[in-house]
């Protein structure tokens, strides 16, 4: 059975996140390790780390995921922005390693007018640069499939494959599959035939062994819209069937599946229960 959970707040400190997740019924959870809308991040103290790790142990979480800041663009053509992004990403790897987090999910980046291939090359170089700055880390870096909004790359499986191919450290890289993003990018996983075809393509192009985390989100925008707007499960253009299919898909039985749907914390508890009840 997959590990079902959601994104939880670190308000008051990261050490409060595990209990928050447990209270919502999570088997796995995702956090930001710092304010995702600010460049400046304070380091995590040893006290926070100690409490965080003991709480993880207490609630027996096997899977903790961090999501990188939305400001980071590892594909930026602007040297100053690129340097800031790489620096922030290095700090993210350091914080996540310190907290013994298994996976960092990040949006690959955007080309800002330079074209997809420019960004794919820059992202691969950025990843190598950052990985080399934090040599002792077991945290894997997961490229998230994107909706392809604006000049974002990562909306095709081929993009993710190219980045992995161009990196010197492919063993440190994996993929996060966001259902809303894939649907908005044009992968019709809602229909059964499209679902089967999409994961066949994923396996052929990237390899299902690279798929480490799912983000389960319905979409406020239709198939192929290239717009990233999450919705609560069953409320958007995707409906509930695709999520029932995912939680019962044998191939994904041991993967964390994380909700990032809009709304208050109560709706997360409700959606987690819906998904748990749907597991056969």
16 lies in the site for Zn ion, by CB under 5 A: no
68 lies in the site for Zn ion, by CB under 5 A: no
Nearer to Zn ion (CB atom), residue 17 or residue 55: 17
The residue range among 50-58, 113-121, 221-229, 243-251 that interacts with Zn ion, by the rule CB under 5 A, is: 221-229
Nearer to Zn ion (CB atom), residue 15 or residue 156: 156
Element (H, E) at 49: helix 46-58
The residue range among 131-139, 167-175, 186-194, 223-231 that interacts with Zn ion, by the rule CB under 5 A, is: 223-231
Nearer to Zn ion (CB atom), residue 3 or residue 98: 3
Nearer to Zn ion (CB atom), residue 228 or residue 271: 228
Instruction: For the CB of residue 52, give the shortest distance to Zn ion in the complex, in Å.
Output: 22
Q: Which residues contact 113 (CB under 8 A, 6 or more apart)?
A: 77, 151
Footprint of Zn ion on 225-254 (CB under 5 A): 228
215 lies in the site for Zn ion, by CB under 5 A: yes
Number of residues near Zn ion (by CB under 5 A): 3
d(CA 16, CA 8): 10
Nearer to Zn ion (CB atom), residue 55 or residue 144: 144
Instruction: For the CB of residue 142, give the shortest distance to Zn ion in the complex, in Å.
Output: 10
Instruction: For the CB of residue 266, give the shortest distance to Zn ion in the complex, in Å.
Output: 21
Q: Distances in Å between the alpha carbon of 63 and those of 94, 255, 256? A: 18, 9, 7
| Cα three-residue angle 174-239-252, rounded to 5 degrees | 30
> For residue 218, what are the β-bridge partners?
231
Give the rounded distance of the alpha carbon of 127 from its chain centre. Answer: 16
Instruction: For the CB of residue 153, give the shortest distance to Zn ion in the complex, in Å.
Output: 15
178 lies in the site for Zn ion, by CB under 5 A: yes
The residue range among 47-55, 81-89, 172-180, 270-278 that interacts with Zn ion, by the rule CB under 5 A, is: 172-180
d(CA 96, CA 33): 7
Tell me if 104 sits within 8 A of 98, measured CB to CB. Answer: no
d(CA 146, CA 159): 10
The residue range among 15-23, 177-185, 191-199, 241-249 that interacts with Zn ion, by the rule CB under 5 A, is: 177-185
The pair phi, psi for residue 113, each rounded to 5°, is 100, -10
Instruction: For the CB of residue 149, give the shortest distance to Zn ion in the complex, in Å.
Output: 9
d(CA 229, CA 278): 25
d(CA 77, CA 74): 9
Q: How buried is residue 40: exposed, middle or buried, by Cβ count under 10 Å (0-12/13-18/19+)? A: exposed
Instruction: For the CB of residue 223, give the shortest distance to Zn ion in the complex, in Å.
Output: 15
Nearer to Zn ion (CB atom), residue 162 or residue 217: 217
Interface ranges with Zn ion (CB under 5 A)? 178, 215, 228
């Amino acid at each position: 059975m997959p590990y079902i959970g959601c994104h939880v707040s670190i308000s008051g400190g990261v050490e409060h996140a595990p209990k928050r997740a447990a209270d919502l019924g999570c088997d796995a959870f995702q956090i930001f390790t710092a304010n995702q809308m600010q460049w400046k991040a304070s380091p995590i103290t040893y006290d926070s780390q100690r409490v965080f790790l003991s709480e993880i142990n207490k609630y027996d979480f096997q899977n903790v995921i961090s999501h990188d800041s939305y400001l980071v663009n590892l594909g930026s053509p602007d040297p100053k922005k690129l340097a800031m992004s790489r620096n922030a990403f290095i700090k993210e790897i350091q914080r996540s390693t310190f907290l013994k987090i298994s996976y960092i999910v990040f949006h690959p980046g955007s080309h800002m007018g330079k074209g997809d291939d420019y960004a794919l090359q820059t992202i691969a170089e950025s990843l190598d640069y950052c990985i080399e700055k934090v040599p002792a880390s077991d945290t894997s870096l997961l490229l998230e499939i994107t909706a392809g909004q604006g000049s974002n790359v990562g909306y095709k499986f081929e993009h993710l494959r190219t980045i992995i191919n161009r990196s010197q450290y492919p063993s440190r890289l994996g993929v996060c599959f966001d259902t809303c993003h894939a649907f908005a990018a044009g992968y019709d996983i809602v229909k059964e035939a499209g679902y089967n075809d999409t994961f066949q393509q994923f396996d052929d192009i990237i390899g299902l062994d690279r798929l480490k985390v799912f983000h389960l989100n319905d979409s406020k925008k239709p198939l192929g819209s290239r717009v990233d707007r999450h919705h609560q499960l069953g409320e958007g253009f995707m409906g509930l069937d695709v999520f029932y299919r995912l939680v019962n898909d044998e191939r994904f039985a041991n993967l964390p599946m994380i909700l990032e749907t809009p709304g208050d914390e109560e709706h997360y508890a409700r959606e987690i229960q819906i998904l748990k009840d749907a597991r056969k």
